[in-house]
Chain A
Amino acid sequence: MSSRGIRDRVAIVGMGCTPFGEHWDKSADDLLIDAAYDASDSAGIDVRDLDAFWLGTYMSGVAGLSLSRPLRLTGKPVTRVENMCATGSEALRAACYAVACGAYDTAMAVGVEKLKDSGFSGLTRHSIPGDGIGGTLGTTTAPANFSLLGPAYAEKYGVAREQLKDVFTRIAWKNHRNGAVNPRAQFRKEVPMETIARSPLVAGDLGIFDCSGVSDGAAAAIVVRAEDAYRYTDKPLYVKAMSVVSGAADGSIDPGYDFTTFPEVVASAQEAYRQAGVTDPQREVGMAEVHDCFTVTELILMEDLGFAERGIAWKQVLDGAFDRDGRLPVNPDGGLKAFGHPVGASGLRMIFEAWLQLRGQAPDSRRITDPAGKLGLTHNLGGGPGECVSFVSLVGTELSG
């Protein structure tokens, strides 16, 4: 048995992404139509001529009908997929694998989420009849689950809690700074570090400004066989690797787990690097969009993805290594933090930023300096410490030799 991947077998030839934010005047249907037509327009193809569709949504619709109905697709295979906050990435993975295996010539992956209609703060859960005790995660909220990471990291690596709070603040400040120049981002203002540091606590050491934006939005990608790519664009984005790891959910029951890492992320990253033939991610990855649902998550991810050695990512964050003009730009579009996190759309939004940056289409005001020839990495996480699914993709503009 072996996971072989589909390196260079498919290409993304068109993408669309709505602005993320509070779309009080748009429904999930509206957002899906906007994103799907943006993507098809950019590929110069009619949506109805695509062969197959995968819709990712966490809780804004059920079944393929949630896409085929608003797009009025007739006679097409349309499937809804869900993998918590990695839902958008899962839609892309399905579309890519379907094309790679030869079942279809063209496919669309589209993700959408309409979170603001619930009226609640933060994410809500699906209501599955249960015994009322919330499984092994208990009844805590997502920020509380992720807030378990900080104290454990501080303890393990001898970082003062106050110093770690500065690291969180630096990450939020960077992502807000990136989002400030991105017209599609939910939050388009720089936020002073003092404001971030003093924001009211939500859970543990995490304040409001350590949490990603709750928003509405949609994003879409059109996938074709690599050899067909130039029929649609002169700048295709080749898929180098895609890896999903769903954990055994044993972090909350295994005393061996120490809350300073996501083993699922480590495994999915290593698998993706292997598929793409990447041996030195710090040199070969030119930009990364990672799942900064909370600032502490981005810190841990820098080590789990191999962007920094264990125990030192906090220093590199403070040194600016992951700033837009740093040695490895992370979340140059603002990330979940500033761009917003409409769950089912986020994985495809990450790919959208790689699409813009690696192909030189990001505007000068926010273009990263040297992505040429390097790969883009997207990392999408669902769940939390101890129980999660992790997705890692690598994309590039050149076929490997």
Chain B
Amino acid sequence: MNGVIAHGAYLPHFRLPRRDLGAALGTSAGTGSRSVACYDEDATSMAVEAARVALCGVAVRPGRLYFATSVPPYLDRSNAAAVHAALGLDRAALAVDMAGSPRSAIGALLAAADSPDVTLVVTSDVRIGLPGSGDEREGGDAAAALVFGPGTPQTPVLATAVAHASSTDEFLDRWRVPGQAYSHTWEERFVEHLYRPAAEESFAAALKLAALTPGDIDHLIVCGLSSRSAQQFTRGSGVRPAAVSPTHNNLIGNPGAAQPALLLSDVLDRAEPHQTIALVSLADGATTVVFRTTERCRDRQPAAASLAAQINGPHRIVSYPTFATWRGMLNREPPRRPEPDAPAAPPAHRSAGYKFGFQASRCDACHQVNVPPARICYSCGARDQMTPISLSDVLGTVKTFTVDRLAYTPSPPMIAAVIDFDGGGRFRCEITDSAIDGIRVGTRVRLTFRRLLTTGDGVHNYFWKARPVNAEPRGSS
């Protein structure tokens, strides 16, 4: 069985304080905050960001990609293909969705653990609910990625899945018909009545397979959208209270399908060698996966930012009206500008290497970087002497910028900048995750994969934007 050789968490830059949510709706919404995907993010774009964190500094190339989410941006075509393109994975690598429910994330994780290839699991979720609902209040937006593989001296196995067991049950705790934006839920007490035994069954079975007792567990992660069920199971699990891993729900909310991998990544950042981790997911029954950390579990790729760093790092508060607008719950007057054209399929495919993978080209004759990739070099005029070069991880500096109050954007005004990359290449793009006063000439920026907008016929227009490096948590530059 493959082990975890890399992992990464991605938290969007915004938080909605529950106090503000309650104030806006005239209700009591509790304390803390939930994480909020920016207007230009969706499950796919956040999955790309989490995978970039996981793959940062990792030498191995995944041969498979499993993408799990409860909110696939597309149906009838795979969203994993966009993630695959944005990561620049090999054409021969399989990329498939496991979509529709938080349960699918556990399926993706187990399939990756069983996979004969180096396999990237990305899980991502944007949790929304009707205004005033528990889903809106308690949900969160995030993504997380795990890479399973046999390990190499440079990229060792950090933890191995030693056992897993499931129980499956058919019941209506929550459901959403395709096309609907919000889920329906049944009464919490009924749900608790079913989840606790399901979790206990899978937990007992997995521990038996691994020849462990609850007291042997060093880190217990309990996931599930029914937080009362999760708490009840946790209390009765027999695991030492000190070994119970925090869910961070108070600060970031519950990110549904992303929660298992997110919290596993969090624990792997803290775990010591030769520790035992039990990951219990309560969804349509329950699954328990037992991991054992290896001698080299602290040898994590150094450049990636941990979940803890992201939770405690820079973020911005979003107001409830803005949050509601971003999630499509508040239909605002559009700008008096034509709606931007939808990407046409053939040109979008021709430029996929650039549009999705941010592949530019370097001139073999004069070594200047051409963005986008060009046949004729802007600098020396050499024709068809180009070598592809990926710039998606290269930092840049703002040469000049402007605030466009006329442009068509779901969240005006648009901030646009001219960016010069370290090592050459210039790129004009939108700035995201930044207030107007967060940008100056000279501001250091990093690219981030975003959804520019969704056109009237439902095409998600993905492309890269830039965001200030100082808006990111420490340890990520």
Hey, which bits of chain A sit against chain B, CB under 8 A? Answer: 118-122, 124-125, 127-134, 136-141, 143-144, 147-148, 151-152, 155, 200-204, 248, 250, 252-255, 257, 259, 386
Would you call A203 and B402 a contact (CB within 8 A)? yes
Whether B443 sits at the interface, judged by CB under 8 Å, is no
Would you call B344 and A130 a contact (CB within 8 A)? yes
Contacts of A125 in B (CB 8 A): 338
Contacts of A130 in B (CB 8 A): 341, 343-344, 347
Whether B309 sits at the interface, judged by CB under 8 Å, is no
Contacts of B407 in A (CB 8 A): 139-141, 144
Contacts of A144 in B (CB 8 A): 402-404, 406-407, 414, 416
List 27 A-B pairs, Cβ < 8 Å.
A121-B336, A129-B347, A131-B343, A131-B347, A132-B341, A132-B342, A132-B348, A132-B463, A133-B452, A133-B461, A133-B463, A134-B340, A138-B429, A138-B430, A139-B416, A140-B416, A140-B428, A141-B404, A141-B406, A144-B406, A144-B407, A148-B401, A204-B402, A204-B403, A252-B418, A253-B372, A259-B418
Whether B186 sits at the interface, judged by CB under 8 Å, is no
Would you call B452 and A132 a contact (CB within 8 A)? yes
Whether B477 sits at the interface, judged by CB under 8 Å, is no
Would you call A253 and B378 a contact (CB within 8 A)? yes
Interface residues of B in 306-358 (CB under 8 A from A): 335-338, 340-344, 346-348, 350-351, 355
B contacts with A, residue count (CB < 8 A):
48
CB within 8 Å for A121 and B425 given contacts A130-B343, A138-B416, A148-B418: no
Would you call A140 and B402 a contact (CB within 8 A)? yes
Would you call A254 and B378 a contact (CB within 8 A)? yes
Would you call B416 and A132 a contact (CB within 8 A)? no
Hey, which bits of chain B sit against chain A, CB under 8 A? Answer: 335-338, 340-344, 346-348, 350-351, 355, 370-372, 374, 378-379, 399-409, 414, 416, 418, 420, 424-430, 441, 452, 459, 461, 463
**How far apart are A23's CB and chain B's nearest CB, in angstroms?**
19
In the bound complex, what is the Cα–Cα distance between A200 and B414 (angstroms)?
Answer: 16
Would you call B461 and A147 a contact (CB within 8 A)? no
Mostly helix, strand, loop or mixed at chain A's interface? loop
Chain B residue nearest to A149 (CB atoms) is B400
Would you call A139 and B414 a contact (CB within 8 A)? yes
**How far apart are B350's CB and chain A's nearest CB, in angstroms?**
7
In addition to A200-B405, A202-B405, 9 A-B residue pairs with Cβ atoms within 8 Å of each other are A130-B347, A131-B351, A131-B355, A138-B428, A147-B404, A152-B400, A253-B374, A254-B426, A386-B428
In the bound complex, what is the Cα–Cα distance between A252 and B426 (angstroms)?
Answer: 6
CB within 8 Å for A143 and B404 given contacts A248-B378, A252-B428, A255-B426: yes
Contacts of A139 in B (CB 8 A): 340, 407-409, 414, 416, 430, 452
Contacts of A386 in B (CB 8 A): 428
CB within 8 Å for A131 and B371 given contacts A138-B428, A203-B402: no
CB within 8 Å for A148 and B402 given contacts A130-B343, A131-B343, A155-B441: yes
Chain A residue nearest to B376 (CB atoms) is A248
**How far apart are A258's CB and chain B's nearest CB, in angstroms?**
8
Would you call B355 and A132 a contact (CB within 8 A)? yes
**How far apart are A383's CB and chain B's nearest CB, in angstroms?**
13
CB within 8 Å for A259 and B336 given contacts A144-B416, A155-B441, A202-B405: no
Chain B residue nearest to A133 (CB atoms) is B463
Contacts of B351 in A (CB 8 A): 131, 133
Would you call A119 and B406 a contact (CB within 8 A)? no
Please tell me which one of the listed residues B405, B426, B429 contacts residue A253 in the complex, with CB atoms under 8 A apart.
Answer: B426
Contacts of B428 in A (CB 8 A): 136-138, 140, 252, 386
Name which of A131, A137, A248, A386 has the most chain B CB atoms within 10 A of its CB. A131
Would you call B379 and A254 a contact (CB within 8 A)? yes
In the bound complex, what is the Cα–Cα distance between A87 and B186 (angstroms)?
Answer: 65
Chain A residue nearest to B461 (CB atoms) is A132
In the bound complex, what is the Cα–Cα distance between A139 and B432 (angstroms)?
Answer: 14
Contacts of A254 in B (CB 8 A): 378-379, 426
In the bound complex, what is the Cα–Cα distance between A312 and B405 (angstroms)?
Answer: 30
